Chains A and B, each alone.
Chain A
Amino acid sequence: MDLGIGVAILLAIWAYIGIVICLAPNLSLHEPIIAGAVTGLIVGDVKVGLQVGASLTLMSLGMHTYGGATIPDFQVGAILGTAFGVATGNVDTGLAIGISAALLMIQLDVLGRAVTTGFIHAADRYVENGNFKGVILMHLLGHIPWGLTRAIPVFLAIWLGQDAVIAFTNWVPQWFMAGMQTTGRILPALGFALLLGQLPVKKYLPFLAIGFVLFAYLSVPVIGIAIAAVALAALYIQMKGGKENA
C-alpha cells in the first residue's frame, strides 16, 4: 500500500506521544508491541505491527536506560518496521528496517537528552527572578526535544523513504532476504542473554533447568510454565523462611 504524507504525519505524532508518555507517566506506549500495533492500525495491518513489535521486544529484553543511558530506540524501530513491513508486504523486510532504525536512532536520543539542558538553565534564571510561570513553562516544554528527535526521523523516513525502500526490496537478491529472515529469528537470543546476565543465574540454575524441561520434554504450554514458576518461587520462599524462623 501507499503510505503517503498523511500517514507520515500521523506516525510522527504517534512517535511523539509515545516517547513523551514514556517519560511520564510511562504507560508503555513506547513498548514495541504497542508502538507496532497502533502503527499497524494506522497503515492497515495490525498483525504485522504485532509481529514486528514482538520480535523487537524479544531483542530488547535486558536492555534498559539505567540512569539515563542510551539504548537502541525500539519504539521508532517498531513504528518504521511496521509501516515498511506493510508497505512492502513483507514482515521480514519490515523487521530488518526496524532493527536498523533502532540502532541509527541512538545518536538522536543523545541529542534529545543534551538539548533539554537549555530548559533547566532558563528555569534557573526564572526561579532567581521569582517568575514561577516561566519555570512551569520550561518544565512542560522540556519534552519538545524528546518528541521531535523521534517525530522528525519518523516523518522523513516514511515520507521520503517509501519509494527507496520498495525499490531496494525489489532489487535485493534472495539470499539476502533469507538471511534477514533468519536474523529476525536469531536475535532474540541476544535479549535472553542480556537478561540472564543481569539475573543471579548461577545461584538459581536449577530453576532454569526446570523451566527448560517443562517446555522441551513435557511440552507444557507457556501459561502452565508461568503457573509452575510462581508456585516454585513461593515454595522456595516458604521453605527458606521456615529455616530462618526455626
Chain B
Amino acid sequence: MPNTDKKQMSKEARKTMWRYIWTFQWSWNYERMQALGYAWSMFPILEKVKKSKDELIAAMQRHLNFFNTQPHVGAAIIGATAAMEEEGADEDAVDSLKVGLMGPFAGIGDTLYAILTRPIVGVFAAGLALKGSMVGFWLMLAFGLFWGFGVHIGMFRLGYRQGINVVSGLSGEGFISRLTDMATIAGITIIGGFIPSILGLGTSLEFTRPVTVDGVTESVVVKLQDVLDQILPYAIPIALVGLAYWLLRSRRWKPIPVLLLLVAIAFVGSAIGFF
C-alpha cells in the first residue's frame, strides 16, 4: 500500500521538500507567479522517474505552468504531487490536482496566517516591543520559525503521505474548520482587549465653568477625559477604530485614504490641544 502513514520519504522527495522550503518564491513574478519555484523544486523527482530527456523536458514544461498558493499550507500540494509523480501517476491527474487545490489552499493558508495567527502574535509582540522588551522580538522570530519550518515540513509530509487523497486527509473530521473557528473567536476576544490597551489615547482638553455654591461663584476645571470615562472608558480609541472600520466597510474607502484621514485627525487634534 503506497498511502500508509508509515510511508518513508525518498531521498529525492526530501530534496524536493528542502528546495521548496528554502527557495520556493525566490523567482516570484507577475506572469506565472510561483511556477519556476515549483518546477525547480520538483526537478529531483522528475529526473529520477522520467526515462528520456524528452520526457523530462515535457514534465518540466508542465510544471512551469502558472501556479500560486499560500506557500506554507500549499506545501501539502507539492508533497502530494511529488508522491504522485514518483508513483508514475497520470500527468493530467497531477496537473488538475495542482490547479484544483491552489485556490482553496491559498484561502485556508492566508486566513490562518494573515488574519488569525500573525495579527494575534504581532499585537502581542508589539505590545511588548513598545515597552522596549526583547521578548517581543523573540516572540516574532518564534512565530516565523514555527511557520517557516514547522508548518512547511508538516504540510509537505502530510501531502506526501496522502498523495491524491490530500484533500480528505486535510479536511478530515473538520479539523481545519474547527481550528479556524477557535482561532477566530480567540482572536476577536484578544482584539477587544488590545484596542484599548494599545491605543491608549486620551484627550487633555479641559474647560472651566462657573459653579455657584451657597451664593459664591467659583470656577471649576472640568476635564473632558473624566467625563468621557464615566460614559465609556477608552471612548476615543473605540471611536477611532469604529470610524476607520466604517469607512473601510460601509463607505468602501481604500486603506491609504483612511490612513491619510487619520493623519489629518492627529495633526488637527494635536494643534487644537485635543490629544
Q: Tell me, rounded to whole Å, the shortest Cβ–Cβ distance linking B33 to chain A.
A: 6
Report B-chain residues with C-beta under 8 Å of the C-beta of A123: 27, 36, 39, 64
> Which parts of B165-198 form the interface with A (CB within 8 Å)?
178, 181-198
Answer yes or no: B161 CB below 8 A from chain A CBs. no
Q: Are B189 and A234 in contact (CB under 8 A)?
A: no
Answer yes or no: A24 CB below 8 A from chain B CBs. yes
Answer yes or no: A210 CB below 8 A from chain B CBs. yes
Answer yes or no: A23 CB below 8 A from chain B CBs. yes
C-beta contact mask, A185-210 vs B, less than 8 Å → 1, else 0? 11111101111111111001001111
Report B-chain residues with C-beta under 8 Å of the C-beta of A182: 266-267, 269-270, 275
**Chain B interface SS verdict (over half):** helix
Q: Tell me, rounded to whole Å, the shortest Cβ–Cβ distance linking B109 to chain A.
A: 11
Write the chain A residue with the least CB distance to B232.
A216
Contact of A204 among B25, B61, B185, B267 (CB under 8 A): B185
Report B-chain residues with C-beta under 8 Å of the C-beta of A135: 36, 39-40, 43, 60
Answer yes or no: B72 CB below 8 A from chain A CBs. yes
* Chain A binder among B2-10, B81-89, B123-131, B218-226: B123-131
Contact of B188 among A138, A178, A201 (CB under 8 A): A201
Q: Are A194 and B130 in contact (CB under 8 A)?
A: no
Q: Are A222 and B127 in contact (CB under 8 A)?
A: yes
Answer yes or no: A168 CB below 8 A from chain B CBs. no
Contact A24/B23 with A212-B195, A233-B183 known, Cβ cut-off 8 Å: yes
Q: Are B192 and A212 in contact (CB under 8 A)?
A: yes
C-beta contact mask, B19-34 vs A, less than 8 Å → 1, else 0? 0111111111111110
User: Between A and B, how many residue pairs show CB distances below 8 Å?
Assistant: 347
Q: Are A229 and B190 in contact (CB under 8 A)?
A: yes
Contact A193/B196 with A26-B72, A117-B29, A178-B270 known, Cβ cut-off 8 Å: no
C-beta contact mask, B244-275 vs A, less than 8 Å → 1, else 0? 11011100000110110011011101110001
Contact of A229 among B23, B126, B189, B196 (CB under 8 A): B189
Contact A113/B184 with A225-B189, A237-B178 known, Cβ cut-off 8 Å: no
Q: Tell me, rounded to whole Å, the shortest Cβ–Cβ distance linking A127 to chain B.
A: 5
Q: Are B141 and A27 in contact (CB under 8 A)?
A: yes
Q: Tell me, rounded to whole Å, the shortest Cβ–Cβ distance linking B233 to chain A.
A: 4
> Which parts of B194-208 form the interface with A (CB within 8 Å)?
194-201
Report A-chain residues with C-beta under 8 Å of the C-beta of B120: 226
> Of B26, B141, B148, B244, which is in contact with the most chain A CB atoms at under 10 Å from its CB?
B26
Interchain CA distance A244-B33 in the complex, whole Å: 42
Contact A119/B27 with A175-B271, A200-B184 known, Cβ cut-off 8 Å: yes
| B interface residues (Cβ-Cβ under 8 A, vs A) | 20-33, 35-37, 39-40, 43, 47, 53, 56-57, 60-61, 64, 68, 71-72, 106, 110, 113-115, 118-120, 122-130, 132-134, 136-137, 140-141, 143-145, 147-149, 152, 178, 181-201, 233-234, 237-238, 240-241, 243-245, 247-249, 255-256, 258-259, 262-263, 265-267, 269-271, 275
Sample (6) of A-B pairs whose CB atoms are under 8 Å apart: A25-B21, A50-B132, A54-B136, A68-B33, A123-B27, A201-B188
State the 9 A-B residue pairs at the shortest beta-carbon distance, nearest first.
A211-B192, A142-B27, A28-B144, A193-B244, A64-B114, A229-B189, A116-B29, A54-B129, A179-B267
